[in-house]
A and B are shown apart, each in its own frame.
Chain A
Amino acid sequence: MADTAQGFMAPKGRHWILEWLFTIDHKRIGMLYLWCIALFFVVGVLLGLIIRLELFGPGKDIIGPQAYNAIFTLHGVIMIFIVVIPSIPAAFGNIFLPLQLGAEDVAFPRLNMFSWWLYIIGGAIALVSLFTGGGAPDTGWTFYVPFSAVTSTNVSVAVAGVFILGFSSILTGLNFIVTIHRLRAPGLKWTRLTLFAWALYATAWIQVLATPILSITVVLIAIERLLGMGIFDPARGGDPILYQHLFWIYSHPAVYIMILPAMGVISDIIPVFCRKSIFGYKTIVGSSLAIAFAGSLVWAHHMFVSGMSDTAVMVFSLLTFVVAVPSAVKVFNWLSTMYKGAIRPEPPLIFALGFIFLFAMGGITGLVLGSAGTDMHVHDTYFVVGHFHYVIFGGTGFGMFAAIHYWFPKIYGRMYNKKLANISAVILVVGLNGLYFPMYLLGLAGMPRRYYDYLPQYTELHQWSTYGSWITAIGLILMFYNLIHSRYRGELVGRNPWQAATLEWTLPSPPPSHNFDEEPVVTHGPYDFHEVRDHD
């Protein structure tokens, strides 16, 4: 099969819109996800900037309280359900998992297309909920009852969108599990799987096992509202605390749907740019699975102040500490890989280092929140907001950026401006710290989260945070500019600009529609660089 310069993105004859929307090529589906996620990410960021701007000073700055409630809800719903959860698995997982396995496609290509359609429909419904009915939901992304059951805003439509997005996530996870089990190339033993594939495997199980609980929970909100069901209404025998349990049984594991794939990306990047095999391959694999497992047992640490028994609080506090162990194991493995490595400070590595630093900042403060005693003090304050933004933006977001910079030359066959990429990475790290570190201090000082207004003594820290948001925005603009510009003007690169050893780099850049002319036979592990040197 002859490759064109455009590879899988080359036109095939049908109208290009139809060709893309009804494609069953995993690479094209991954690209569709990537573009949609980027688009929604921009919307989410703009909403975040509005929130920060409103909080620049006490009282009203630019928007009223109801608009503020709607905007932070929207920011949460878009960022969590439409951007972060599908980000790395649905975009880069779809593009690169089959390539890394030496497979032609995922196990169920049509189901894969269907997942993307569900994603788009779910995202569209979530957007429709803003402009119809009683106005944008104002419940926060957690849709906590009893408020979500009684508010006149458009909660029912929004949760319908979330339900469909959840279904999309389940089907993607299911597809990946079967793909990894069934479609590995000859010689690709489980111990030769890339750590990215392992991370996706662990993630896929969480997607499959946790998401249905969220689905039923949001269905219950909808019927509570539409039919007056009373399942969470104490006056009719229901219990709002049960809602919190059901919600977090999904949504805590969902945190690991967000972070595990990013950890997989980092585990793939670090060996390549240190020219050294990963330190402790099996412990990284084990820690991914351990995070997936232990992460499913810690949901109630969101509810220490909801009125659980002291025993329950202690158990969930302990379990939360346990889940920190495999996360720390990974960090130490990455650092050990770098030790005495031949480090090349290319942009993917810079982003990876940013990830490690920001994720560690978020992870360690997670322990403050996981300890029942300290949680009582900072519960529902800005400390929590700082914590999860460090983990989600600093972790998943940076994992996503690292992935883009790592695989960009593979996808487009072109290289971006490396210097500009490094500068944007540094600006982003500075910006994120400026944006979120003041939140820790605000939280410790007692500033509650989600509040529209605040006392004057919090003004200065809020202003620092808002300045940070501007620096972050500059970093993002620079990064996006560099990538979009290079997509058309970047210097052409060959198959393997990073001299990486995994299978996707043996293909032309961009890869052809049919991945492998002949089925590859794998004879060595993913981080064995000796063979790569021989080829060069």
Chain B
Amino acid sequence: MTEHHDYQGAKMGMWIFLFTEILLFGGLFVLFAVTFQRYPTEFHEASKLLDVTMGTTNTVVLITSSLCAALSIVALQRGERKRSEMLIGLTILLACCFLVIKYFEWSAKFHHGIYPGSTEIADWAPGKQAYFALYYAMTGLHGIHVIIGMAVLGWVWWLIRREKCTPDHFVALENAGLYWHLVDLIWIYLFPLYYLIT
């Protein structure tokens, strides 16, 4: 079956999809902005409870993974298939690291009873509760995107192995890379918002 390849069309479709993803998170950023404006001191207090070290480590992990994804595209374009595969593998591995660190970070919080709807935080000031509601909503949604991104990268890895994604037709890898950069980008906004601005 002959398929027509429209490189520009495929890229355009992906960019439009990324816009929708930004808007999806945009709703939450709006909620954050409004709530932050309403409870500046409570947000200040609450953000001190987050672990900056873990957040920073995760930022570094995710940026590195994004670099690997970008290098993998270059490798495939140059025809270095093995290296491209390895770099995608590395991207997925780093994504796993991100999730593991996130897991420890969240479970420590859960251990202290800091999660929406817990009896521990029921007595807290409303602003502090709102901070953690948004924190879990936004980092949780981001986490789901990390998992989806890993699945997409895994799929492209398989495509490359089956030589369905080749140095001539690499748009699947490129689009997966774009998606991964978006996942990275959203974290780059989440990180200072929650961990650094106090």
Chain A residues near B (Cβ < 8 Å): 107-108, 111, 170, 174-175, 177-178, 181-183, 208-209, 211-213, 215-217, 219-220, 223, 227-231, 234-239, 242, 245-246, 249
- Among B12, B13, B30, B134, find the residue whose CB has the most chain A CB atoms closer than 10 A: B13
Chain B residues positioned under 8 Å from A223 (CB to CB): 137
Judge whether B49 is part of the interface by a CB distance below 8 angstroms: no
Chain B residues positioned under 8 Å from A208 (CB to CB): 16, 19-20
26 contacts between A and B (CB under 8 A): A108-B9, A177-B12, A178-B16, A182-B6, A183-B9, A208-B16, A208-B20, A209-B23, A216-B25, A220-B137, A228-B116, A229-B136, A229-B137, A230-B130, A231-B31, A231-B130, A237-B126, A237-B130, A237-B131, A237-B133, A238-B35, A238-B133, A239-B34, A242-B31, A245-B30, A246-B30
Whether the pair B13, A230 counts as a contact (CB closer than 8 A) is no
Closest Cβ neighbor of A174 among chain B residues: B16
How far is the CB of B84 from the nearest CB of chain A, in Å? Answer: 24
Closest Cβ neighbor of A237 among chain B residues: B130
Judge whether B28 is part of the interface by a CB distance below 8 angstroms: yes
Q: Is the interface of A mostly helix, strand, loop or mixed?
A: helix
Judge whether B58 is part of the interface by a CB distance below 8 angstroms: no
Whether the pair A181, B9 counts as a contact (CB closer than 8 A) is yes
A228 to B136, CA, bound (A): 12
A246 to B141, CA, bound (A): 17
Chain B residues near A (Cβ < 8 Å): 6, 8-9, 12-13, 16-17, 19-21, 23-28, 30-31, 34-35, 38-39, 42, 116-117, 125-131, 133-134, 136-137, 141
- Among B16, B39, B117, find the residue whose CB has the most chain A CB atoms closer than 10 A: B16
Whether the pair A181, B27 counts as a contact (CB closer than 8 A) is no
A249 to B19, CA, bound (A): 16
Whether the pair B13, A234 counts as a contact (CB closer than 8 A) is no
Closest Cβ neighbor of A235 among chain B residues: B126
CB within 8 A of B116: which of A107, A178, A219, A227?
A227
CB within 8 A of B13: which of A107, A216, A227?
A107
Whether the pair B126, A239 counts as a contact (CB closer than 8 A) is no
Starting from the known contacts A209-B19, A228-B116, A229-B137, 4 additional A-B residue pairs (CB-CB under 8 Å) come to: A231-B31, A231-B133, A237-B129, A238-B35
A174 to B23, CA, bound (A): 14
Whether the pair B24, A215 counts as a contact (CB closer than 8 A) is yes
Whether the pair B117, A229 counts as a contact (CB closer than 8 A) is yes
A111 to B14, CA, bound (A): 12
Chain A residues positioned under 8 Å from B38 (CB to CB): 237, 239
Chain A residues positioned under 8 Å from B8 (CB to CB): 182
Chain B residues positioned under 8 Å from A215 (CB to CB): 24
Whether the pair B26, A213 counts as a contact (CB closer than 8 A) is yes
Chain B residues positioned under 8 Å from A234 (CB to CB): 126
8 cross-chain pairs, A with B, having the tightest CB-CB distances, nearest first:
A237-B130, A228-B117, A237-B126, A216-B27, A212-B23, A212-B24, A182-B9, A236-B129
Closest Cβ neighbor of B8 among chain A residues: A182
Whether the pair B23, A237 counts as a contact (CB closer than 8 A) is no
How far is the CB of A23 from the nearest CB of chain B, in Å? Answer: 14
Whether the pair B27, A212 counts as a contact (CB closer than 8 A) is yes
Closest Cβ neighbor of A250 among chain B residues: B27
A217 to B25, CA, bound (A): 10
Chain B residues positioned under 8 Å from A175 (CB to CB): 13
A512 to B190, CA, bound (A): 52
CB within 8 A of A239: which of B6, B20, B35, B125?
B35
A453 to B38, CA, bound (A): 40
CB within 8 A of A211: which of B20, B31, B34, B117?
B20
How far is the CB of A250 from the nearest CB of chain B, in Å? Answer: 9
A317 to B131, CA, bound (A): 33
How far is the CB of A19 from the nearest CB of chain B, in Å? Answer: 16
How far is the CB of B107 from the nearest CB of chain A, in Å? Answer: 16
A229 to B134, CA, bound (A): 8
A237 to B122, CA, bound (A): 11
A107 to B11, CA, bound (A): 12
Do A174 and B6 contact each other (CB < 8 Å), given the known contacts A229-B133, A237-B39? no
A220 to B32, CA, bound (A): 13
Whether the pair A178, B13 counts as a contact (CB closer than 8 A) is yes
A217 to B27, CA, bound (A): 8
How far is the CB of A186 from the nearest CB of chain B, in Å? Answer: 15
Chain A residues positioned under 8 Å from B131 (CB to CB): 237
Chain B residues positioned under 8 Å from A211 (CB to CB): 20
Whether the pair A212, B21 counts as a contact (CB closer than 8 A) is yes
How far is the CB of A219 from the nearest CB of chain B, in Å? Answer: 8
Whether the pair B133, A174 counts as a contact (CB closer than 8 A) is no
A249 to B26, CA, bound (A): 12
How far is the CB of B137 from the nearest CB of chain A, in Å? Answer: 6
Closest Cβ neighbor of A111 among chain B residues: B13
How far is the CB of A248 from the nearest CB of chain B, in Å? Answer: 12
A479 to B167, CA, bound (A): 56
- Among B28, B42, B125, B131, find the residue whose CB has the most chain A CB atoms closer than 10 A: B28
Chain A residues positioned under 8 Å from B39 (CB to CB): 237
Chain A residues positioned under 8 Å from B128 (CB to CB): 237
Whether the pair A181, B12 counts as a contact (CB closer than 8 A) is yes
Whether the pair B16, A177 counts as a contact (CB closer than 8 A) is yes
How far is the CB of A304 from the nearest CB of chain B, in Å? Answer: 19
How far is the CB of A404 from the nearest CB of chain B, in Å? Answer: 30
Closest Cβ neighbor of B9 among chain A residues: A182
How far is the CB of A118 from the nearest CB of chain B, in Å? Answer: 14
Chain A residues positioned under 8 Å from B141 (CB to CB): 216, 219
Whether the pair A178, B31 counts as a contact (CB closer than 8 A) is no
A223 to B16, CA, bound (A): 27
Chain A residues positioned under 8 Å from B20 (CB to CB): 170, 174, 208-209, 211-212
A175 to B16, CA, bound (A): 10
Do A237 and B127 contact each other (CB < 8 Å), given the known contacts A108-B13, A228-B117? yes
